[in-house]
A and B are shown apart, each in its own frame.
Chain A
Amino acid sequence: MVALVATPALAAPARVVSMNLCTDQLALMLAAPGQLISVGSYAQDPDLSPMADAAKALPANHGRAEEIYLMAPDLVLTGQFSAGPAVRMLQDLGIPVQILPPADTIPQIRDQITRIGDLLGRQDAARDLLARFDEGLARIPQRTKGRALFYDANGFTAGGQTLSDTILTRAGWQNIAADLGITGPGALPLEQMVMATPDLIVTGARWPGQSRAEAILDHPALRHAAKVPTVTTDNTWICGTPFILTAIENLP
């Protein structure tokens, strides 16, 4: 392990493990064949990951220090919110871990692509991906469509500085939650949601099984309040990757 730590940072890592749904996807897009040896198990879930098929070709990890240590990685990628005790333990064991912040805005997504490209020693692939992303963004016309509101389980909405806000506004919708002064994710009482009279309601994707938290999405008031059919998010709304182009294009 001491030898691994001493490896010069300039050399590209050969055994990369990603343990976060979002770094999983960017790493899958950017890594050289064989360079990425494991992704998180969520990346293989088609409900969560638009790259589930590609992810299934690799062994999955479950974010546990023991299994990841045994894979003998020379680089571990993870997100800020996945950085728990497992990450601290891996660091104590001398494994280089890169903790990446979530990318919620288009500049942040572009930075993330560049950074992961640098970390993997795949600057060329990152440049290609960025070029395609910019091209896709340029194809989307700048329009103004109306006032939209993202509404999810437990009455949570997405205010400014969120990926949902980025997707909504880039698609030409005005995000009501951001106008109400909400930054980041935040709770919005059902009656305030109704009073806001949105032109479009975007609800979170339903998980398998049932929960009370999601029952709010079936509340009759929600149906009465929506003037246009509600839209449900899919796996392209979760991570800041070029897949948000699909999310933007799929919005009415």
Chain B
Amino acid sequence: MTPLFRLLVALVLALFVTSLLIGPAGVGALASLKALVLGGDGPLPIVMRQIRLPRALLGVAVGAGLGLTGAAMQGYLRNPLAEPGLIGVSGMAALGAVIAIQTGASLAFALALPAAALAGAAIGIGLLVALAGPRGGSVTLILAGVAISAMAGAGTALVLNLSPNPYAANEIIFWLMGSLADRSLVHVALALPPMALGAALIATTARGLDALTLGEAAAQALGIDATTLRWRLIAGVALIVGPATAVAGAIGFVGLVVPHLLRPWVGARPSRLLPASALGGAALLLAADIAVRVITPERDLKLGVLTAIVGAPLFLHLIWKTRSGGRI
């Protein structure tokens, strides 16, 4: 392991433990960890195991997933502006999740929720690859992303507004901004297996993404099968972004910020950027989730608010660099 990877692993571990120790219940660190590991009577083991543990686990998984898919999509589209949240893939996943919830499908069959979100994400990334494929430029990518995001957002709002439930309409903000508050181990069990499968698929694209550095034709001549690579990427992204969005909402900018920050540290090689971005994404989302609990302990400040505050200026900076013709 290179020093960078050791540092990232240590950071994720430290933030994971911090995440477990932060909460409104205000219990000492030692007592909390003891209750988490050893259990026991009273309410503390319930708080640690049923409330904080799923939150921290989802922070790691969702953050890692978003960082990984961001790095993979950027490598495939050869464009540093690509990111699941920003260009509508998460939005389409949210639409799928909302449809599954509002039609009652998720009540009848628990896996319907991640499955529908996965289908939404697959349609989103599929549309994007078709419109802005590896030969499309930044402008095509952003325009396609704006169109897909708008469509997904409108669809989500429509479904929620048609709901007979008065709370549903107010939940547009959750689906747009994301939150890890009050998630349970049920959500962890629903989201983690497909996300792990997606990560395994993305890992197999590493060589192909490296080869794409030289362009599509050169990559093919290096023995990379373009069709296989495309389907693995689409399936991998959908398997990760779909379930992640189904349980945590659409959290933007993680997949943009993390690969951008880490690229110089891995020599810009896409295959090395994948694991680094997964670790970096986990660290960023854990940190953001700790921050929302520290800043507004009583309210559910949405995670996407924080990630957008960090990410949107960076996005503008990247557009500026692309605009002036400079390389990223």
Contact = CB atoms under 8 A, between A and B. Distances in A.
Interface of A: 153-155, 187, 189-192, 194-197, 207-216, 219-221, 224-225
Secondary structure at the A interface, as helix, strand, loop or mixed, is helix
Contacts of B186: 220
A189 B24 CA distance: 7
A211 B182 CA distance: 14
B308 interface: no
B318 interface: no
Contacts of A208: 164-165
B24 A192 contact: yes
Interface stretch (B39-47, B69-77, B142-150, B201-209): B39-47
A68 B240 CA distance: 53
Contact of A210 (B46, B101, B170, B299): B101
A5 B47 CA distance: 60
Given A197-B43, A212-B174, A219 B168 contact: no
B104 interface: yes
Contacts of B185: 220
Contact of A220 (B50, B101, B168, B174): B50
B164 to A, nearest CB: 4
Contact of B47 (A195, A211, A214): A195
A194 B102 CA distance: 29
A224 B49 CA distance: 11
B182 A190 contact: yes
A220 B23 contact: no
A212 B182 CA distance: 10
* 3 shortest interchain CB distances as A-B pairs: A209-B165, A213-B167, A211-B167
A215 B164 CA distance: 15
Given A194-B47, A225-B46, A155 B182 contact: yes
B164 A207 contact: yes
9 contacts: A155-B182, A191-B25, A196-B43, A211-B167, A211-B168, A211-B171, A212-B171, A213-B167, A220-B184
Contacts of B46: 194, 221, 224-225
Interface in B277-328: 297-300
A216 B181 CA distance: 10
B266 interface: no
Contact of B23 (A154, A189, A215, A219): A189
Given A194-B43, A219-B184, 20 more contacts: A153-B167, A187-B298, A187-B299, A189-B297, A192-B24, A197-B43, A208-B165, A209-B165, A211-B167, A212-B174, A213-B170, A215-B182, A216-B182, A219-B51, A219-B182, A220-B50, A220-B184, A220-B186, A225-B43, A225-B46
A152 B25 CA distance: 19
A159 to B, nearest CB: 13
B228 interface: no
A224 B41 CA distance: 11
A216 B171 CA distance: 13
Contacts of B163: 209-211
Nearest to B23: A191
Interface in B79-120: 101-102, 104, 106-107
Contacts of B182: 155, 190, 215-216, 219
B148 to A, nearest CB: 23
A195 B50 CA distance: 12
Contacts of A191: 23-25, 47, 51-52
Contacts of B171: 211-213
A204 B29 CA distance: 33
B166 interface: yes
Contacts of B104: 210
Contacts of B43: 194-197, 225
A221 B50 contact: yes
A133 B27 CA distance: 46
A221 B167 contact: no
Contacts of A195: 25, 27, 43-44, 47
Interface string B23-67: 111010000000000000011101100111000000000000000
Contacts of A192: 24-25
Contacts of B164: 207-209
Residue of B47, B163, B174, B185 with highest tally of chain A CB at under 10 A: B47
B167 A207 contact: yes
Nearest to B42: A197
Interface string B180-213: 0010111000000000000000000000000000
Nearest to A153: B167
B28 to A, nearest CB: 13
Contact of B102 (A196, A207, A209): A209
B184 A154 contact: no
A208 B182 CA distance: 22
B85 to A, nearest CB: 19
Nearest to B104: A210
Contact of B165 (A196, A207, A225): A207
A225 B47 CA distance: 9
